[in-house]
Amino acid sequence: MPGERVLVVDDSDAFRNLMATHLQRRGYGVEVAVDGLDAIQVLKTKGPFAVMVTDLMMPNLSGLDLIREVRKSDEHLQIVVITAAATLETAISAMRAEGAFDYLLKPLEVIGELSVAVERAAAHRRLKLEREELRAKLATEANRLIAIVARTGDAIIAADDVNKLTVINPAALRLLGKDNLIGEPALTGLPSALLTLLENWQTVGGKQPTTIEMPWADGTIQMVTLNTLLQSDGKDGWVMILRDVTHLKRLDDMKMRLLTDAAAKIRFPLAQAVIALAELSDLPETKMGRVGELTQRLVRLWDRIWQWMEGLLALVQIEAGVNIRLADVDLVATLDEMSKTLSAGPLHEKGLKLAVEPVAQLPKVRADPDLLRQLLNGLIVRAAARSTSGDSIHLTAREHNQQVWVEVADHGPAVAEADLPHIFERSFVDTGANPEGTGLELALVKAIIERLGGQVWVAQQGRAGSAITVCLPTVGAESNLAREPLVALNGDGTGA
């Protein structure tokens, strides 16, 4: 690039002046030296230079010795060697061993060869400097990130594409009660609950960004974030971050208790109001007229409020673990029973069909039978609310790795992308479902699956339809002995 500084070294006055004049005309800042010793002095007093053009055969200090001396103080200086044919091997040796950038043969056929070589050398120097600057910035950022990871209170765990642990910060080691896990496989380094979550995330959740709440063995509640992590070889590893949110959960529980107390206080007067409105709606239309239509609307409205209060009270009881009775449940029999009951009832009334994939045998699951029926009923009722007459709701079940996976899928509209992160929140109302819903249906599913020690995932969806999969631990599974309930909700809604 014109404007950069070049040092020309040659013991021939005529050739040295020719090269210097040509480079000056090309816009370079040029200094000259008559031999190697003179060049060293110019470098000390007038440097630095971007490029040095030097002859090899010179008195006092040869060009090769000059290059070796220069390299001790300036590793970025690019060197173009001018040599006669007789010293060509020496020039090539200088390039290989001493780091010269290029060489030109005397006499130059065209003087323009010189400026081309100098420009290439200067460009190479600029690239090297830019690369080193970027590397320095990356190193600084890497050190900064390492310091943040080491000092943060959040537990951070990362692994490569074959699940070998590559990052474990001090907070994670304290949480797991380990001294060092770097290089160990996740299978032997992580507790069973995290391993189950990880496998289900990779299998059911499609490796989508996931956030879960996990009660820990010490009584705390850990918020776990799980996401893919691109490696330098282009393959996908993963990173897991655990944060203690116990205090936030307690505040949330306090708010829920206050809300529940308020709902309980108005439950009885609300029931009386609903009964009174129902009596009004039963009067002959000739006596009611327009008032009758308004009464019917009020009845429906109050009924929705009643359903919401009942759902809210049930939700709080489930989250509090009230009246939970665990037993060994035959899931095949439960699914068959529910299929017959629902097919002859609400699904038949709406013109829907429940298609249950035949399954001969499944291991028993450890669950509260009533809660399990409520969970499955909630998923099927949700699917029905999203379906139109003539549609089918598909229910499948299969065993996988000491779990039973049950999936309920519908053909309704796809859940809006903006709704996916909120699908299991208490106030969520599915825009693709019947507007008569309370907004607590999936929140109840989440609360139940927490109490049953399983997971619930929203499977990856296409342009239409929605599928929710629940993963229940089987009887005798090792993780049942001290299993932390897991509920995951993907950042984009594909898992919960």
Measured in whole angstroms, the distance separating CA 457 from the mean position of its chain's CA atoms is 16
Residue 261 lies in a domain: yes
Count of Cβ atoms closer than 10 Å to residue 39 Cβ: 27
* 313 and 331 housed in the same domain: no
Residue 148 lies in a domain: no
Task: Write down which residue in 297, 321, 345 finishes a domain.
Answer: 321
Task: Say which residues have a Cβ less than 8 Å from residue 220's Cβ, sequence separation at least 6.
Answer: 244, 246
* 134 and 171 housed in the same domain: no
* 351 and 486 housed in the same domain: yes
* 128 and 157 housed in the same domain: no
**CA nearest neighbour of 458 among 208, 155, 234, 92:** 208
From first to last of its 496 residues, the chain has per-residue pLDDT tens of 667 999 999 999 999 999 999 999 999 999 999 999 999 999 999 989 999 999 988 888 888 889 889 988 888 999 998 887 656 676 677 676 677 888 888 888 889 999 999 999 999 999 999 999 999 998 888 888 878 888 888 999 999 999 999 999 999 999 999 888 999 999 988 998 899 889 888 888 778 888 888 888 888 889 899 999 888 888 899 999 999 998 887 777 776 666 666 666 666 666 666 676 666 656 565 455 556 666 666 666 666 666 666 666 677 667 666 677 888 999 888 888 888 888 777 787 788 888 888 777 899 998 888 888 888 888 888 888 888 888 889 999 999 888 999 999 988 888 777 777 778 876 676 665 555 555 677 888 888 888 888 888 887 566 677 888 888 888 876 444 333 333 444 444 444 4
* 477 and 360 housed in the same domain: yes
Beta bridge pairs of residue 434:
none
* 377 and 445 housed in the same domain: yes
Tell me, what CATH number does 81's domain have?
A: 3.40.50.2300
149 near 156, Cβ under 8 Å? yes
Task: Write down which residue in 305, 321, 337 finishes a domain.
Answer: 321
Task: Write down which residue in 244, 262, 278 finishes a domain.
Answer: 244
Residue 38 lies in a domain: yes
Phi, psi of 452 (to 5 degrees): -90, 0
Count of Cβ atoms closer than 10 Å to residue 149 Cβ: 18
Q: What is residue 377's DSSP assignment?
A: H
331 near 406, Cβ under 8 Å? yes
* 311 and 332 housed in the same domain: no
* 342 and 390 housed in the same domain: yes
CA distances from 317 to 256, 312, 418, 484 (A): 11, 9, 30, 19
Is omega for the bond preceding 48 within 30 degrees of 0, making it cis?
A: yes
Give buried/exposed letters for 417-453 (b at 16+ CB in 10 A, else e): eebbbebbebebbbebbeeebbbbbbbbbbbbbbbbb
* 417 and 470 housed in the same domain: yes
Residue 400 lies in a domain: yes
397 near 380, Cβ under 8 Å? no
Q: How many domains are contained in the chain?
A: 4
User: Residue 408: which domain range?
Assistant: 324-496
* 313 and 342 housed in the same domain: no
CA quadruple 84, 87, 91, 92: dihedral, nearest 10: 120
Tell me, what CATH number does 180's domain have?
A: 3.30.450.20
Tell me, what CATH number does 476's domain have?
A: 3.30.565.10
Residue 29 lies in a domain: yes
* 139 and 174 housed in the same domain: no
Cα–Cα distance, 147 to 252 (Å, whole number): 33
159 near 152, Cβ under 8 Å? no
Residue 271 token pair: 């029931």
CA distances from 79 to 2, 22, 251, 392 (A): 17, 17, 70, 77
Residue 58 lies in a domain: yes
* 467 and 337 housed in the same domain: yes
Whole-angstrom Cα Rg for the chain: 38
Residue 79 lies in a domain: yes
